[in-house]
Structure 1
């Protein structure tokens, strides 16, 4: 299939991408009380009321979507003795690593400077459950490559950044049950006729294809023979390279690419089938089994009581249609 040439001179779409990229460098506080940070956060001292965390059971991985059993119910904060959660409660706020450029999932609004999206609403739900108020949430803007190192160094308590669960990552961190199911596709130039191209990644031999650093998307791209991988810090960086003519296409999860297409009317998500399954999980330090089980209880409740559907409809229904059934949770991981 012949790959279509990209139209230049997009104007407004370039401005939106540039605004979002520039705004990502700011440290701001939203009117809701949610705070934002991009500098390393000092590790809080251990609470005197904390109990030592038991050593984590070695992780096995036959199914990357299998997480730890949820708690039977959400406990009151005063009844929690787990050391890691007590540190969070004694600190007085939850620190969550997020994206600021993944439109619909985690992106900074250029007019309000608030970071909003599906992942952000989940982070707010966790903070509200722990503290009784979503204002006890500090969002730290991170890149995809930052996710695992910052969890390991405990500079963030949780990552909510459209992160794919896989067995390799389970060796370094822990995941919640699956909360969204995506798949890797291509963002390509829009056909002037209006027809959605059926471009496959195999059709791009000799072409430059961009993906963010530190992602399973880039790992997959590097296995495709004849395609020249181009890495950027994030998807906004890929969009900028695409608009500058330094990349011929962008690959990523379908929901991420839909967000980019919404910002640039000269692009479209290829109609070719996804080449991967991308189950998203919230990510934690691998020792934080109790916190993972706590969040699994909260996710199960949100799926059961309509909360997950409400979040989906708020952010995604207008682009992807009515909410499907939420992903089924898989439990039983040792730990």
Structure 2
């Protein structure tokens, strides 16, 4: 990659960005006619949303252990025979589990360009819950939701469950229940391949993008060298903004950044993890028995190798699967 005399990245990256915009538009069109149950968001994917500086962040809420969820009680019921009066029975009656997730997080929840289906590690987490309820993992409806609607969608019942690279924290626990932790991630930074930056601290005064409503956005503003947080509707929009030279970098969980780097030969992920991001699935607080049920499914799948097989399917390129996160209960 070359640079212009003014130090900006040359037009190669901009051209790549325009290709990504066009490709994303094609994916949206494919998805719209694929028969997928997932509705497309109202905003146009791939078009960079206007940049907004992140608001001042309050001190983190440490009033709880965000990793500790509700302990399962008893054995799992047989698929198709959910306890009367339980939320699982209501889901069974509805004929499908409604999963809230994104469609542009490669490896975790992204649209397959050939089938138009949303797939990935997070989606498979949802499919495993559907299989436990129905005996069929395909009894699932995927509802694409924005990052900043993940908590509200779970809280108000717009979806049955959210699995969307979502960090369990104390502030969110006040509005929703989280499952036990199903994945351990950490925040890093993506920069151009010719960038001298080695870590987030090297980006002081530079624009660094993250999705609105993500913990990543607030974490950028806490760095002592004062990088400038820039909010976009999705991380897909961040990638387009990065490729069009609107921002210097993107910062979020390492797993999400790895998917972005795989799409852009002129990008690299740098620096150590500077946060811990324990992922949990979010559900309404109105149905604690559902959270306990989900935790029982996760416990079973940790023990029988399903979690490891899911990791190897989607994230095996990162190396040997680690041990599944150990469940903690309240």
TM-score by length of 2: 0.85
Residues 128-180 of structure 1: CA deviation (Å, up to 9, x unaligned): 11111122100011111010111122110000101001111100101000000
Query: Which 5+ residue runs of structure 1 have no aligned equivalent?
Result: 41-59
SS in 2 for 1:78: coil
**1:119 alignment partner in structure 2:** 122
Q: How does 1:1-335 map to 2 (within 5 A)?
A: 6=9, 8-10=11-13, 11=15, 14-16=18-20, 18-20=22-24, 23-24=27-28, 26-27=31-32, 35-38=37-40, 61-76=63-78, 77-191=80-194, 199-225=198-224, 226-270=226-270, 272-318=271-317, 320-331=318-329, 333=330
Mapped partners of 2:288, 2:259: distance in 1:
33
* Residue 259 of structure 1: how far off its partner (Å): 0.3
**4+ residue segments displaced more than 6 Å:** none
Mapped partners of 2:223, 2:250: distance in 1:
14
Query: Which 5+ residue runs of structure 2 have no aligned equivalent?
Result: 1-6, 43-61
Residues 84-131 of structure 1: CA deviation (Å, up to 9, x unaligned): 222211111110001100000001012221111101111111111111
SS in 1 for 2:141: strand
Q: 1:324 to 1:74 in 2, by over 3 A?
A: same
| Contact 2:20–2:240 (CA under 8 A) maintained in structure 1 | no
RMSD: 2.2
Q: 1:79 to 1:317 in 2, by over 3 A?
A: closer
Mapped partners of 2:299, 2:33: distance in 1:
32
TM-score by length of 1: 0.84
SS in 1 for 2:81: helix
| Contact 2:82–2:133 (CA under 8 A) maintained in structure 1 | no
Q: 1:254 to 1:152 in 2, by over 3 A?
A: same
* Residue 28 of structure 1: how far off its partner (Å): 5.2
